[in-house]
Amino acid sequence: MIEIREAKTEQELKDFVKFPFSLYSKSPYWVPPIIKDELKSFNLSNDIFKSVDVHFYLAYKQNKLVGRIAVCINWTEVKELNKPKVRFGWLEMIDDIEVTKALIRKAEELAIKHDLVYIEGPMGFSNMDKAGMLTEGFDQIATMIGLYNHPYYPQHLEKLNFKTEAEWMEYKLDITAFNPRKINVMAELISQRYEVKLLKFKTIKQLVPYVDEMFALLNKTYADLQSFVPIQQFQIEHYKKQYLAFIHPDYISCVMDKNNKMIAFSITMPSFSKAFQKANGKMFPFGFLHLLGAMKKNDRAEFYLIGIDPDYQNKGVNALMFKEIYHNFMKKGVKHIETNPLLLENNKIQQLWKQFNPIIHKRRKTFRKDM
């Protein structure tokens, strides 16, 4: 018999966060979070929960912890975008479909309670959280912004009558195959034609005043995608605190028009995956040293975010960013890049990577079940 308990106490939430550490203890591909940061993000006093109701559950079998799930309602999504759904995420479980069934039932119960039409996951509290269950690429190390899961996860959901709702691809790019001469010529041509210029930052302090403008551009870039939920200001403040510490100004590229308005930006990061594995959930006493090492010396990088004003899409302004990215990566010894998950329908962004000889090495999905 499977027993489900809601995690409410400090110890129960610690158990919730730490469960995957044992589940993936033998996996060379899973990347652990920083335990302290994960716990902080689940604190219900956070502004993120002004528009989100959430419950955390633990599954026990013979008094042994065997699974977890978070179920939530993003009320902005429900009321403003008319998407009557319950989200579920942080789904982890042993290979026992009865455990999965018992955990999923909590999402179904929340949907029934609020007269919502369907459940979907894995997803986070908002569209800035990790989403999508891995369906291909189980032999690839996870990125900082990508979920990893065992191969039996999607099999369980399919057996429980879930259907595909959204699908993402992730590309692996070889920066050494890039043609620098071609991109230099293109960048110069586009700069003159549209009177645009690249904006550089020397410090994070210089970057901070532009962060809100980046998120506004992000909302504008992805507004027409079926799964996008606009990012609220209090959510922006939350993500500033969560990610700015991991971003180096050398990995930021912004393009401004003649009126000094931002029309495009990209954020890349050195790959912290192996550093997080070495840290094993703790920044201290030595975890932060692994992260600093990854920042200083790394042959891999990850695309985190990219936004281009719809008025400038398909006009080549990305050439200015890619020129900067290429020369910076060559200087730092970066040879390989992984993209963030790209929605299958997002053809505009996928077109950006063609010149990098992209290889699809991961796929992921969210799954839907109607009530």
Residue 92 in domain: yes
Domain assignment present for 203? yes
Q: Kindly state whether residues 117 and 145 are assigned to the same domain.
A: yes
**What is the per-residue pLDDT for 182?**
84
Mean pLDDT of 281-292: 90
* Residue 368, domain member (yes or no): no
Region 15-35: mean pLDDT is 97
Average pLDDT over residues 127-140: 93
Predicted structure pTM score: 0.91
Q: Which residues pair with 69 in a beta bridge?
A: 57
| Residue 369 within any structural domain of the chain | no
Q: What percent of the chain has pLDDT over 70?
A: 97
Pairing of strands 52-61, 359-370: unpaired
In sequence order, what are the beta bridge partners of 58? 5, 68
Residue 359 lies in a domain: yes
Judged against a pLDDT cut of 90, whether residue 236 lies above it is answered with no
CA–CA dist 7, 17 (Å, integer):
10
197 secondary structure, DSSP code: E
Residues 31, 83 within the same domain: yes
pLDDT tens for each residue of 142-171? 998 899 999 999 999 999 999 999 999 999
pLDDT band at 227 (very low <50, low <70, confident <90, very high): low
Whether 230 has a pLDDT exceeding 80, the answer reads no
Mean of pLDDT values over 235-255: 78
Residues 17/55/51/90 CA torsion (nearest 10 deg) = 40
310-336: per-residue pLDDT in tens?
899 888 888 899 888 888 888 889 988
Number of domains in the chain: 2
194: burial class by Cβ within 10 Å (0-12, 13-18, 19+)?
middle
Answer left, alpha or beta for residue 118, where phi above 0 means left and psi between -120 and 50 means alpha.
beta
Which CATH number do you get for residue 302?
3.40.630.30
pLDDT of 228 higher than 90: no
What is the residue-averaged pLDDT of the chain? Answer: 91
Confidence label for 226 from pLDDT (cuts 50, 70 and 90): low
Q: Are residues 46 and 164 in the same domain?
A: yes
Domain's final residue, options 112, 134, 169? 169
Q: Between these two residues, 176 and 280, which has the higher pLDDT value?
A: 280
Domain that holds residue 110: 2-169
Give residue 173's pLDDT band: very low, low, confident or very high (50, 70, 90).
confident
Domain end (from 169, 193, 228): 169
Least confident of 105-109, 137-141, 201-205: 201-205
Last residue of a domain, one of 169, 201, 235: 169
Instruction: Output the pLDDT for position 225.
Output: 65
